[in-house]
Structure 1
């Protein structure tokens, strides 16, 4: 009883494994396709627009231009009315005073998308315009971009839906901004350095189309390999985080955000936002000038696997400038070359050359010499990338060296980034390297920042997609007792918990911290002279609760530059990374803390994360100072304060709205029994299920593999494992069925074995979801598939989805029979007679009890 979901398959990375569908995959058209790839166009404008003179071939015959004249009514002559197919896109550039008239005229055409370009003079009340457009868009089911939007450019289509006179060059990076001035500046710069784009969009006032929707579209856009994002503000932290994570899972995303200290957001808002980007797998840049470096380096196909960099230069000055911004606190640091590399470099270079990284030669560089040096550095296992820093040299044929670098970097096993310092003679050489697909920079600082960006991307991707070994869920919290403590405090009209209540709350969540007033004496195991630590939980007004680990005690400074900040939920891996990013760990604790205390600290952070996830009444939690003994943690002071407003709904039943990242939905863990009484468990998948899921797939029969994957796939790739086990519960769900079996590797102690897997992922229309289901061969025909599907259906209804669908092989009679039994409708697939589309109206399914 297996099923292949085509979109699930595509998004999981099946194509990288080498298995390709015989027929082209047809998926639901994204709602923003009408904006980025319109099939019909109406232009309403009171002034000339560039698209009138340069209409793409794809729109010739399906585009209409209407010039609006002052004082005359708007007449949509020659345009189909409501009896015909819906208009795909309307492009409007008209005085704000006539906006209601224009929208009323467009209503009969039912456009799928609408772009509102800026005009001069501007509107006297832009907020009123935005509210009017938002209401109109909802009533008429139209995706509105703007008002006051830069518009959209799709260079590969020749589509210029903006007021810019020239369209950008074609490239593979998408530019998304909340500022049309930023978009215009980047396009002007890109034209000078021959940088192209797959798409350019600036959102304007965001009456309907926002950043998360655009990220969703670009994540699946085959013409986009990477995304550069400029934002002023985030309206919905949950929607932004979910869309950003979905996009960065498949494509690098670089974020430039204005406003490091926005009013009303708190002093650590910027650091919390950085933490959110890390968890989503994106990379933050701090300055506008870095955006140009980011756009250049995003197109580079080579990605470092670490942060250790080797430097090669024809002088001492450039590498010293680079080293000034490298180090332990930077994203990259200087690599220590192996003895074999040092010997090889000594044989290659002139006497007196520096070989201990940076590698500095003062002799005239020959193309063959630089090829040999780079071969040595790239082969060194302690080197993750190479930075080549070159200044003009009258003794060297710099053009020949640049051509050699262009040839080398194309096939190099590790990233090689170059810096050609200078302008008059070096600028054409940078263009040569850029055109060859390898990024070249003007200064050592920008080159190091580009490498830092690549290294940060690798680290953040590790955080968002890391796979953990299997671990059982032990010591669940006593949630009812914990909530009773909170209710008792509120009944007493108190927002601050007493010390005893704080300790009781920790006990309910099994937090291994002992709270005693004299935590520093020897009786509690604390080390003499131990560095005071602190764990702080606070709420950001926009991003929700966050956890900070760092220095404690009197006089401790809480710095926004300290990277010891993360957002819940945490697991043990993320808790360890949180500690190791902190300045306190690097400077003191890494040399002082015992391994046992370190494990307790990670466990404490993980359980405190669980506490603030499940108790949405917690406003602040402070453990300061906290001391580490040889085998325990002890706190001098603990304080917990509740929110002023009482939480009216439980977070696990309302989608955890107080958090930016949806935690593990523990409420869906449900013990079950087969008809013969044998127990099994249905629960959402966890990151630590990667290895059991791989074992499950390997154990499938050839027939089951074909039914599920439409291929003879033997096992899942690491990327597929991460995709299926690192679930974004805000937009998808994966349920597994498990049984307890003896584990011979652990003296026969029982462990979980996966026997079934079900998954759904929201469709591009945002209203429905596509499901996938596979049951192990020895567990079929026991009602397992029906139970997992009912779990998916109920969860989809709670999330407000209106339908669930799948595409099943026509020969998979068992699956088709199950879906019919569950009330699904069975339709033929027009594009592929070997497939059947099965779907369920989730409104109707509420009354279905098969």
Structure 2
């Protein structure tokens, strides 16, 4: 249901409290006091059948006895009464309820199931149960039993813990940090983190979102909402349980490497969220984001009147991977004129301990004018000659009188030993202050990381090779056959066939049931002068080295026969219960300057398939050099995944070792991600080692585990176990046009930016005005990225490509709302190609897509003068009406279920 009726939670026009109590220290009395103290302006009703009034507010026995209809009902009544209260709320027409009461249970037959059934039938939104409540300062609403009310501000806090939410409210009051809303999710029977991300992403009073997460139940919904929110504003997340014990034993190296928290980290990274590791860091992030918007870059200037403090700040900056700004020549000359001869003449700028407020302020002014500085950390230590308060006043006054065009450079402060008056004055000027230089530098890194995450979300990936083709049907046939035989592991020949179907180079393999067959299988390789390797073949023995099941560099038939006999005997001795099929024979791959890597797929119960990459070899878990990413991947994301490992450094050239072909490694990762999308029955895939050198890559050993589960057929709106919707290739098709022309229609891809740039050059100013309601001629990278880099779970863009020219002929966009009921469309066709039916065909496909994903309505706005578009809309069945706010616009809407296409 997403954002449906959430306005009744955060901006209710009326509310009722069921379970208010006169008993001191009761939850019901605390909530009532909080509601009254917050100054809620609308009608407020109290429901308690045992008391005529509570806290001076008249009480009624039932919700139906109120003289008004409450939009929001807050429930703190005894647990057994909650289903009846929710039924009453639905009956009187309430739109939402906050259930503070705990103990409703979960699952079939529980009180919670009764509540969910009633609420779902009436479209009643539920926050909780078992939650602290909701605080919305701008609406003067405190429907919680928190100790106090938050200050009004522009940070939204969504917490799975009531204690964390309450603690952050108190911290915020002490630091002058305000909130647009604070929500405790509790058991999240209905409203969850995904719904609230969608709500706050669109909330004009919210500039940044803070999340406290313990677990995620609907990962697909969360990821779609998080990616949309992170494109709009900073989202900071802290997750508890990073070192939870008890993870199941994994059968493959990739499975062992893909720990639960590592997968969460990969998910947060992919969504563009800023992850912090502890509450104090969340507080620091709140302090920073509560005052500052973003840093234009990562170059930090440091201003101090204490040299030692400046050096400590530099050390911390380097520790956190930051960049120290270099002072420009003009800035140096200006500071030379302002400061004593023995000033530091570099960054940090040490204005010397005897600096008064005027000298400090003048130095700051010079640094603010330096284009080579992206942000400034201003630190002050009180001395007998330097007043903290006077310096804070001078800094604040300087920032307040500077032109608005220069006000975007962030300034962070550390006022050591200063009182509330000094830090309060800085706070009023928009300068966040920190207790230590380490906290301040960390705050700066949050700004940098957010900016870089935003930029990464907008980067255009490199194009895949033109010959990037996979034979998913052949691979699927291999897996289906094995599943039909009831097997959980593919045998080596099947593994080779599957890798071959996806174009992943691998060493040849032959199967041998006994030593004689092993010798025969080795002969073709030995005849070419290539020694061979033997490996034990058993579905019950996945880690072959555990049973001494590998022999290398066998150069003769006799050596092969003896090694095979030894391997089989040893395996039967150590694993008598194992089903041993024989050995596999492989030619030795001799690449003395190759790097041993691991690449594969792991299965996570929350996020589904995960791509794993890192340092390979037998000690892979001990080395633990790995990085994870959620599929699907493009080449940019694959290179970023590689860069997050230590082994990426030795992929570069060093000494007499040429650089490895990193693009070939990245391409393997992209193909594995594609395999995860195509064949969800592949549960774990392990390539170890994957050898990489300047000539490319080769998989030396690989294992693949498979399984079929009942939920494989349908987990949401697409057939996949992936939480990020992969490229919807099923919408690729050839379409006939007028004049015997044809076009290829497909969903847009992130790498289509160049196509769009050329496309816009072929659009007339008039057509651009009709499409964008104004004449647009500058199409920035960010603008085009928003057209090409879509979350396929909630948006689609179908592009028409000329079959002869490969050029973009037209495009139609459809963006679903957060409730997935309505979709807003837009369309543009090249100006020189009107009359071919391109727009008509794109509109038909767009409506067909809307119907397939369950949208009820497709809407749009068309300029009244755009007769061609309005005529096409009417022909397709759209209702056309004059826009209520602008008579020059026409609103067009189509009931998808009744559309004739």
Fold match (TM-score > 0.5)? yes
Give the stretch that moved more between structures: 96-105 or 344-353.
Answer: 344-353
Instruction: Pick closer, same or farther for the CA change 1:501–1:126 going to 2, 3 Å.
Output: closer
The structure 2 residue matched to 1:39, chosen from 13, 24, 28, is: 13
C-alpha distance in structure 2 between counterparts of 1:91 and 1:447, whole Å = 40
**1:495–1:644 Cα contact (<8 Å) kept:** no
Given candidates 197, 216, 219, the residue that maps to 1:237 is 219
Give me the whole-angstrom Cα distance separating, in 2, the residues matched to 1:550 and 1:214.
Answer: 35
Equivalent residue for 2:95, pick from 104, 112, 115: 112
Structure 2 SS opposite 1:114: strand
Contact 2:14 2:70 (8 Å CA) reproduced: yes
How far apart, in 1, do the equivalents of 2:678 and 2:599 lie? Answer: 18
Residue of 139, 144, 156 corresponding to 1:157: 139
The 1-side partners of 2:626 and 2:141 are apart by: 42
Q: What is the aligned partner in structure 1 of residue 375 from structure 2?
A: 385
What pairs with 1:345-356 in structure 2 (closer than 5 Å)?
349-356=339-346
* Structure 2 segments unaligned to the other structure (5+ residues): 22-28, 53-59, 249-257, 401-405, 510-530, 534-551, 554-586
Q: CA deviation at 1:482?
A: 1.5
- Shift in Å, 1:226: 0.9
Residue 395 (structure 1) aligns with: 385
Structure 1 342/232 Cα, relative in aligned 2: closer, same or farther at 3 Å? same
Pick aligned residue for 2:236 from 254, 262, 266: 254
- Give 1:168 shift: 2.1
Please give the alpha-carbon distance, in whole angstroms, between the structure 2 residues aligned to 1:75 and 1:324.
Answer: 62
Q: Are 1:66 and 1:76, in contact at CA under 8 Å, matched by a contact in 2? A: no
- Which residue pairs with 1:822 in the alignment? 876
The match for 1:290 among 273, 281, 295 is 281
Q: 1:661 to 1:515 in 2, by over 3 A?
A: farther
1:280 alignment partner in structure 2: 271
CA shift, 1:708, in A, is 1.3
Which residue in the other structure is 1:210 paired with? Answer: 192
2:692 is equivalent to residue 628 of structure 1:
yes
Change (3 A) 1:341 1:499: farther
How much does 1:705 deviate?
1.8
Closer, same or farther in 2 for the Cα pair 1:834/1:380, shift >3 Å? closer
Residues in 2 aligned to 1:343 and 1:548: alpha-carbon distance in whole angstroms? 52
Instruction: Work out the CA distance in 1 between the residues paired with 2:326 and 2:447.
Output: 20
Q: For residues 133-212 of structure 1, what are the structure 2 equivalents within 5 Å?
A: 133-164=115-146, 166-212=148-194
Deviation at 1:380, TM superposition (A): 6.0
Q: Aligned equivalents of 1:587 and 1:408: distance in 2?
A: 49
Alignment length, in residue pairs?
795
Deviation, structure 1 residue 363: 3.5
Q: CA deviation at 1:294?
A: 0.9
Which whole-Å CA distance do the structure 2 matches of 1:111 and 1:384 have between them?
Answer: 50
Q: Relative to structure 1, is the Cα distance of residues 249 and 513 closer, same or farther in structure 2, using a 3 angstrom cutoff?
A: farther
Match of 1:309 among 285, 300, 304: 300
Shift of the alpha carbon at 1:156? Answer: 1.9
CA pair 421-129 structure 1, distance change in 2 beyond 3 A: farther
The alpha-carbon distance between structure 1 residues 293 and 30, as it changes in their structure 2 partners (threshold 3 A), is same
Match of 2:548 in 1: none
Q: Distance in 1 between matches of 2:229 and 2:486?
A: 45
Aligned 8 A contact 2:880 2:893 in 1: yes
Do the aligned residues in 1 keep the contact of 2:799 with 2:812 (CA within 8 Å)?
A: yes
The equivalences for 1:553-702 within 5 A come to 553-557=617-621, 564-586=627-649, 589=652, 591=654, 594=658, 597-643=661-707, 645=709, 648-649=712-713, 655-702=718-765
Q: Which residue of structure 2 lines up, in the alignment, with residue 18 of structure 1?
A: none
Q: Which of 197, 212, 219 is 2:201 aligned to?
A: 219
| 1:470–1:692 Cα contact (<8 Å) kept | no
Segment of structure 1 superposing worse, 510-519 or 92-101: 510-519
Residues 539 and 620, structure 1, Cα contact 8 Å, conserved in 2: yes
Q: Which runs of 5+ in 1 are unaligned?
A: 1-27, 81-85, 742-749
1:77 alignment partner in structure 2? 65
Aligned counterpart for 2:395 among listed residues 381, 405, 427: 405
Q: Is the 8 A contact 1:168 1:187 kept in 2?
A: yes
2: CA distance, partners of 1:92 / 1:435: 39
Quote the residue 1:506 is aligned against.
Answer: 499
> Match of 2:695, SS?
coil
Contact 2:660 2:692 in 1 (8 A): no
Greater mean deviation of Cα atoms: 306-315 or 508-517:
508-517
Query: Which region of structure 1 is more displaced relative to structure 2, 103-112 or 507-516?
Result: 507-516
Deviation at 1:671, TM superposition (A): 2.0
What's the CA shift string for 1:140-190, capped at 9, x where partnerless? 111111223222222122222223464322211111111121111111111
| Structure label with greater radius of gyration | 2
Which of 445, 448, 455 pairs up with 1:452? 445
Q: How do residues 685-724 of structure 1 correspond to structure 2 at under 5 angstroms?
A: 685-724=748-787
Structure 2 CA distance for aligned equivalents of residues 442 and 797 of structure 1: 56
Residue 92 (structure 1) aligns with: 75
Give distance in 1, aligned partners of 2:647 and 2:242. Answer: 23
Report deviation, 1:418.
Answer: 1.9
TM-score, normalised via structure 1 length: 0.86
Deviation at 1:311, TM superposition (A): 3.2
**CA separation of 1:449/1:674 partners in 2, compared to 1, >3 Å: closer, same or farther?**
same
Q: How far apart are 1:590 and its partner, in Å?
A: 6.5
Q: Give distance in 2, aligned partners of 1:469 and 1:481.
A: 28
Q: Kindly tell me: are residues 339 and 488 of structure 1, through their superposed partners in 2, closer, same or farther at Cα, counting changes over 3 Å?
A: farther
1:753 aligned residue: 807
Q: State the distance in 1 between where 2:813 and 2:623 align.
A: 42
Secondary structure of 1:386's counterpart equals strand
- Shift in alpha-carbon separation, 1:419–1:35, aligned structure 2, 3 A: same
Distance 1:529 1:132, change over 3 A: same
> Which string of whole-angstrom CA distances, capped at 9 and with x for unpartnered residues, describes residues 794-835 of structure 1?
222222222222232333222222122222233444444333
The 8 Å contact of residues 90 and 119 in structure 2, kept in 1 or not, is answered as no
* TM-superposition CA deviations, 1:597-623 (whole Å, max 9, x none): 122122222222212222211211222
Larger RCO (alpha carbons 8 Å, 6+ apart): 1
CA displacement at 1:364 relative to structure 2: 1.9
Give the TM-score normalised by structure 2. Answer: 0.81
1:221–1:591 Cα change, 3 Å: farther
**Cα deviation, residue 336, structure 1:** 5.7
Q: How far, CA to CA, are the matches of 2:227 and 2:397 in structure 1?
A: 35
**What secondary structure, in the 3-state scheme, does the structure 1 residue paired with 2:65 have?**
coil
Residue 414 (structure 1) shift: 3.5
Verify the 8 A CA contact 2:41 2:140 in the aligned structure 1: no
CA distances 1:203-229 after superposition (whole Å, capped 9, x unpaired) = 222121111111111111111111111
**Deviations, residues 268-317 of structure 1 (Å, cap 9, x unaligned):** 22122111111111101111111211111113444234444343333344
In structure 2, relative to structure 1, the CA distance for the partners of 1:38 and 1:528 (3 Å cut) is same
Q: Deviations over 1:41-82 (max 9, x none)?
A: 3333432403663575752xx5444444279953622445xx
